[in-house]
Structure 1
C-alpha cells in the first residue's frame, strides 16, 4: 500500500520527496481501516494534505484526486444540502477546542449518495493557533438506512397503536397499566390513554365485575404464557357493564422474569347480546316470552330428579283455554295473540319464581310446580289459576270472560319421566273439558282409555269422507202463520260401522281440531244442494234448505265455491240459505260484510244463527246483508218459566222486525213455548215439537204429505 501525503505545496518537488514515508506498520493499520483517514488545512476549502487509501472505496475517487484539490475538493463532494451544516458544526467545535463528530451525505464519483460519519479534532501549535484538522470518515449508509427503517417501523407501529380499533395494552402483574392506546380508553370510557393509566391502578377490583377473572387471567398466563379469547364482564368508568375479549401474552426478560403482560381487547357486548338472544329464541316462545317445549323438558327433568332426592311432589299442570278458538276466529289472530300474552302474564303471577310456566303451543300452557309438600298446596295454586284466567279481559269497548280447563299429573304418583307426566296431564285436561270446562282434574288411571278413544276417533274421522260414512238429516222449519213447512235445516250425522251414529257435538270439535271441518263443510253444501234440487225435480214444493258454515269456511273463496256448487247442482240460489253464527259474523266485521255482500249477489239467503249469545252491536247488525235472525235455543228453553229469557226473546223478535228481518226460534220442544212465540209474533220455529232431524227419505215423505194436504 502506498500512502499519498504532503505537508507542503505540491509544486515543491524537493519537499515532497523529502517527506519520510510512514512505517510499514502504519500503512497496514490505515489500509485495514473501514474508512478514510485525513489531514486538511483550515482554509475555505479545507484542502486535503493527507488521505489514506480508504478514500477510493469511500468516495470513488483516488486519493491523488482529492490531495491539494488536484481534481476535486472534499468540500465539493459533500452533498450541497449538507455543506453549510457540516462547516458550522465543525467550526463550532474548533472554536471551543472540542472534538467534532457528525453525520452527513457525500456524492460519490459514480453519483451515488452515501451517508458518512466523521470524527476529528483540530491540531494546534505551541502558540495555540490552529494548524490543521485531522480525522476519520466512515460510510454509515447501511446503518443509516437501518435506523431509518426502524424509525419508519416505529412510526407505523405508533400509527397502528394509536389508530387501532381494538384496544392495545401493556399491564403489570400488580394490576396497573404501563401503556394503552386511545381505543382501549374509549372502550373503557376514559377521556384519554393517560387518563386511563392514571385512574385505573387496580385492574382486579376496578375493572373486572368478577375479580376472580383477573385471578384466572394471571393463572393462565403463568401456566400457558398467553390467553386467547378470554371473555369477561368489566366496568366502564361510568359504571356500565360491558363484555370484552382479551388476547394477551406474558413478556419476560432473558432471565425468564415476568416483566409485563401485553395484548389486545375487543368489545363484544353486542355479540354477547346477540348470542343471548339466539339462545333465548331457541328456548322461549316468540309470542309470550315463556319457555318453550325444549326448555320445559329440561326443567321438568331436573324437577323429577329433585323430587326423587327430596321426597316432595312435582305437579305438571296442563292449561287449555276454553274460548280461545272462538276469539281467534271471531276477532282475528292479532287479538288472539294479545289474549295469549295476557293469559301468560296471569299464569306467571300465580306461581313462585322456582316454578315454570311454559307455552306448549296454540292455547296450551304447561306449568311445573316443584317441591310441593302435598296435594292441598297444589290445589290452592290451581284455584288461583282458574280465578286469574277468568278475570274479565277487555278489548276495545268489549269485555270477554275467558275460562280454562286444567289437567294435573303428579310425580311420582302419576309418572316418573317427562313424557308420561305430560301425557297424563293432557289426559286429565281433556277430562276437565268433558266435565263442563272451567275446572281442574287430577289424573286417574282410567283416563288413559279415554285418550285412546279420542285418538281412535280422530283417525276414524280422517277416513270418514272416503268411506262415505257421513249422512245429512233434515229438520223442518214451520211457519207460525199457517203451520206449514217453509224450509229445512241440513244437519250432518256420522254413522260408523262399529259405534253407529256419532252425535255432531262429539265429532265436530274433533273435526275442527284435525283441520277436517272445511272438506266436511264442502261435502255438506254439495249434498244439501243436490238433495234440494232432487226434491224440486220430483215435483215437491220448493223450499230453502239452510246449511251451517264453519268459521274456517268464511273466507274470500267462499262466494266462488258456493257459485260452483249451485252451478253443479242446477239449484237456484234463492233455495239456498247459509247460517252463520253470530260469533262468526263478528270475526272481522269489515271483511265479513264484503263476503256476505258477495254471497247475497248470488241471490241466496243468509241468517244469523245462535243470535243473542255473542257480542254483536246494532251498528254492525244494520250493515250486515242478512235475511233472518235465529233465536238460540238456550233462550227458548226457559221462556215459559224465566222472565229474563222471555224478555230477551221478545226483544230479539222486536229487533228483527224493526230491521225487516225474519225471526226464527229453534229448540221448540213443547206447546207452551210454541204458544209464547206465536203470541209474540215470531215468524218461524223449529224443534222436536214440530219435527226431529230426519233422513232425506223421511223428509221426502213429510213433504209429500204436506203436498197432499195442500192439494
Structure 2
C-alpha cells in the first residue's frame, strides 16, 4: 500500500468546525469534500453529505471505520492513486487524480479527486483535504471519442481507396497510405511535402484543376470526377475523385476532403471495347460503322464550308483466287499489307476503312476538285500494285476503284457509298487496275431502284406486306421464349422480296414510318391472337427504325398499338440499333424512359457495331443486349470475335441485362455461346423466319 509520507500522530475525530469547513454549504455540492489522515487506511476525519450519493455509504460508515475508503477504490487503481498523491506531496503541490471506485451497490464509477496535503507545525504531512466528484459521464464520452478516433484512423490508414484533405491553393493537408501508393510516393508525409502544386504537378490535362475548383465552388462537391494524373515517377494513370467542401461555422472554406480510386484498368477496357466495336479486327482500320460516322462528318463539313468531299471504293482484283489457292492466312496477310499501303497514301484528315472482305473505302474531305482526287487514287493504284513476297512467291495485286463526289453524286453517306460502289464495278468491267468516276449512266441499278421505290409506295395499300416470325430460344432449356417479327414483301411480279432489298429505300423515302406502324400493330395483334387461341404466351420483338425514333411520336404510336390490340405491355419488346441510340444520346435516353414507363421491354440491337459509352449504356433503361451477327459468324474460329462476344456477355451481365446472340447458324457457335453464359439465341440453327401459322404449329405449345 506504500508508506505514509511524514505521518505524525493525529486525533481520530475532528469536527467540521475544527477543519474550518462549513458543512451545510458543502452538502449542497455534487460530490464529496473530505479530510483524511495519511495512514495505512486513509482514515477519514471529515466527510460532506455528498458522500452517500457518490459512494452509496453515509459519512458515519467511514468515520466509524465500518467502511474503508481505499477499499472502495478499484483494486487496479489503488497503487497508482497512492503513488500519484505521494508524488504530488513530495513535490509540494496540489494533487489531481482520476480513478474508479466501487459503490456500495457494486456499480463502478469514475471519480476525479482534487486535494492538498495538510502539514503539522514541524512541516510534516499529516492529512489530506480535498474534493471527490463523479466524472463517469465525461470519461465514457472521452472513451467513445477515443474509440471513434481510433476507428476513423484505422479506416483512414487501412482503406483500399485513397483519402485526402486538400486546400484550394496550398496542396494537400493529409493523405492516407493508399493514396500515397497510388501516386507513387513512399509515404503520405513524402507526398504531402513534395506535391505542393496540384495543378502543375498532378493533373495531365491543362485546366483540369480549374474545373475541379469550379465545380467545388458551384456545387460544393465533385462526383466521379475523372482525370489523368501523373504519378511521382512520371507515369500516367486515370483516377476518379469524389470530394466535398468542408466549411467552418461562418461558412468559410476550410478544406476539401474526398476519395480517389484508380480507374486505369476500366479505362483500358472501355477503350479496347470501343476500338473493337469501331475497328476491323484484322487490319485495325475503321470498320463500316466508324466509316459511316466519318463520312457523315465529312459531308457536314463540306456542306457547311462549301467544299468537295470524295469517296473512293476500292476492291482488290482476283483476291478470291489468291485466297483459294494460297489459303486464308496468306489472304489475311495480304489484306494487312494493303491496309498499310493505303494509309501511306493519304493525309491525316483522310479515312481508310475496311468495308469487308477485300473491299476498302477512302473518305477524302477538303478536296480542291476531281483532279486532286484522281492524283490520290492513281498513287493508291500504283502503291497497291507493288510486288509482295510471301512464302517465296512474288505476288502483284491490283485494285479497281470507284469514285463519287459530294455534292454532285449524292447528298448523304448511303448515296455516296452506293454510287462509289457502282463506279468500282464499272472499273472492273473496263479491265480492272483502274478507276472510274460515278455517272448516272453507269448505275445499272438506278432503273430497278426507281421501280422498286414506285412499287413500294403501293405495297401497304395493296396488302402486300406480311410478317414472318423467327424463334428466340433459351440457351439453358432449349425452349422458345420469344419471337422476332420480320417484314417480308410479297411483290406481285418479283415474289417474296427480302427486307435488305427495300428497307433502305423505305427509310430514305420516309415510307418506313407507315410501314413501321403497320408492323407494330400487326405483331401485337398476332401475339394476342396466339394467346387467345390458348398458345403459350411469349414476348414478341419489333424493330424500330431510325426515322420512327427521330419523329418524336414513337411513344404514342406504341401506346396506341398496345391499346388497340389489348396486348399486355410486357409481351412486347422493341429493338433499337446501337448506332441509332447513340446519334442523339439525350433524346434517346428520354424516349427510352418514356417507352419503359409503358411497361414494354427494350433491347439494344446489333450491339458491338456502334460506339456506346459505358457511362451512357448504364443509364439507358434497357433489358437486353443483342450481339450483332457479324461477331457470331466466326465466333468459334476467330479469337477477336470470340473475345468481343465474351466481353459483351460479361458486360451485359454486369449491368444486369439479358444477352441474346443473333445469326447462330451451327452447333459450334451454339456451343461457344452456351459455354460463355449467353442467355438466349436466334438464328437458322434454331429456326428460320416463318409465317404466323407455321410458327404457332412449330414453336408454341398449348
Q: Equivalent of 1:67, from 63, 87, 90?
A: 63
Do the aligned partners of residues 29 and 328 (structure 1) sit closer, same or farther apart at CA in structure 2, a change above 3 Å counting? farther
Match of 1:140 in 2: 135
Structure 2 residue 52 is the aligned partner of structure 1 residue 49 = no
2: distance between equivalents of 1:365 and 1:106? 92
Asked if the contact 2:161–2:259 (Cα under 8 Å) also holds between the matched residues in 1, the reply is: yes
Structure 2 residue 102 is the aligned partner of structure 1 residue 107 = yes
SS in 1 for 2:371: helix
Deviation of the 1:156 alpha carbon: 1.4
Asked if the contact 2:403–2:438 (Cα under 8 Å) also holds between the matched residues in 1, the reply is: yes
Deviation of the 1:410 alpha carbon: 0.8
1: distance between equivalents of 2:389 and 2:105? 99
Do the aligned partners of residues 334 and 56 (structure 1) sit closer, same or farther apart at CA in structure 2, a change above 3 Å counting? farther
Q: Equivalent of 1:30, from 26, 33, 42?
A: 26
SS in 2 for 1:446: helix
Match of 1:695 in 2: none
**What per-residue deviation string (whole Å, max 9, x for no partner) do you get for residues 607-643 of structure 1?**
xxxxxxxxxxxxxxxxxxxxxxxxxxxxxxxxxxxxx
Backbone CA RMSD of aligned residues = 2.5
Match of 2:12 in 1: 9
Give 1:216-235 correspondences, 5 Å limit.
216-235=211-230
Structure 2 residue 278 is the aligned partner of structure 1 residue 283 = yes
Deviation of the 1:454 alpha carbon: 11
Deviation of the 1:285 alpha carbon: 1.5
Give 1:197-276 correspondences, 5 Å limit.
197-276=192-271
**What per-residue deviation string (whole Å, max 9, x for no partner) do you get for residues 464-495 of structure 1?**
xxxxxxxxxxxxxxxxxxxxxxxxxxxxxxxx
Asked if the contact 2:317–2:397 (Cα under 8 Å) also holds between the matched residues in 1, the reply is: yes
Match of 1:348 in 2: 343
Asked if the contact 2:166–2:172 (Cα under 8 Å) also holds between the matched residues in 1, the reply is: yes
Q: Equivalent of 1:409, from 390, 401, 404?
A: 404
Give 1:180-579 correspondences, 5 Å limit.
180-449=175-444
2: distance between equivalents of 1:123 and 1:288? 99
2: distance between equivalents of 1:405 and 1:451? 21
SS in 2 for 1:204: helix
Deviation of the 1:429 alpha carbon: 0.6
Structure 2 residue 79 is the aligned partner of structure 1 residue 79 = no
Asked if the contact 2:299–2:406 (Cα under 8 Å) also holds between the matched residues in 1, the reply is: yes
SS in 2 for 1:353: coil
Asked if the contact 1:427–1:451 (Cα under 8 Å) also holds between the matched residues in 2, the reply is: no
Greater C-alpha Rg = 1
Do the aligned partners of residues 321 and 155 (structure 1) sit closer, same or farther apart at CA in structure 2, a change above 3 Å counting? same
Deviation of the 1:93 alpha carbon: 0.9
Do the aligned partners of residues 257 and 291 (structure 1) sit closer, same or farther apart at CA in structure 2, a change above 3 Å counting? same
2: distance between equivalents of 1:263 and 1:158? 15
TM-score (norm: length of structure 2): 0.60
Gaps of at least 5 residues in structure 1 are: 1-6, 457-497, 499-711
Asked if the contact 1:175–1:204 (Cα under 8 Å) also holds between the matched residues in 2, the reply is: no
Match of 1:161 in 2: 156
SS in 2 for 1:116: strand
Do the aligned partners of residues 450 and 228 (structure 1) sit closer, same or farther apart at CA in structure 2, a change above 3 Å counting? closer
SS in 2 for 1:148: helix
2: distance between equivalents of 1:313 and 1:347? 21
2: distance between equivalents of 1:128 and 1:347? 109
**What per-residue deviation string (whole Å, max 9, x for no partner) do you get for residues 80-113 of structure 1?**
2211111111011112221100111222223332
**What per-residue deviation string (whole Å, max 9, x for no partner) do you get for residues 186-216 of structure 1?**
1111111111111111111111112411111
2: distance between equivalents of 1:426 and 1:285? 20
Deviation of the 1:354 alpha carbon: 0.5
Match of 1:665 in 2: none
SS in 2 for 1:173: coil
SS in 2 for 1:296: helix
**What per-residue deviation string (whole Å, max 9, x for no partner) do you get for residues 348-406 of structure 1?**
11100100011111211110111111211111111111112112222222222221111
Asked if the contact 1:103–1:117 (Cα under 8 Å) also holds between the matched residues in 2, the reply is: yes
Asked if the contact 1:170–1:263 (Cα under 8 Å) also holds between the matched residues in 2, the reply is: yes
Deviation of the 1:63 alpha carbon: 2.1
SS in 2 for 1:287: coil
2: distance between equivalents of 1:109 and 1:205? 68
SS in 2 for 1:186: helix
2: distance between equivalents of 1:280 and 1:455? 38
2: distance between equivalents of 1:225 and 1:102? 47
Give 1:690-709 correspondences, 5 Å limit.
none
**What per-residue deviation string (whole Å, max 9, x for no partner) do you get for residues 300-331 of structure 1?**
11211222333332110000111221222233
Do the aligned partners of residues 257 and 454 (structure 1) sit closer, same or farther apart at CA in structure 2, a change above 3 Å counting? closer
Deviation of the 1:45 alpha carbon: 1.5
Deviation of the 1:127 alpha carbon: 4.6
2: distance between equivalents of 1:236 and 1:22? 73
Deviation of the 1:126 alpha carbon: 4.9
Deviation of the 1:20 alpha carbon: 5.7
Q: How many residues align?
A: 444
TM-score (norm: length of structure 1): 0.59
SS in 1 for 2:170: coil
SS in 1 for 2:440: coil
1: distance between equivalents of 2:90 and 2:18? 32
**What per-residue deviation string (whole Å, max 9, x for no partner) do you get for residues 131-188 of structure 1?**
4211111222222222122112211111111111111111112131111111111111
Deviation of the 1:119 alpha carbon: 0.8
SS in 2 for 1:449: coil
**What per-residue deviation string (whole Å, max 9, x for no partner) do you get for residues 238-270 of structure 1?**
111111111111111111111111111111111
1: distance between equivalents of 2:331 and 2:436? 26
Deviation of the 1:49 alpha carbon: 1.0
Do the aligned partners of residues 211 and 421 (structure 1) sit closer, same or farther apart at CA in structure 2, a change above 3 Å counting? closer
Asked if the contact 1:35–1:55 (Cα under 8 Å) also holds between the matched residues in 2, the reply is: yes
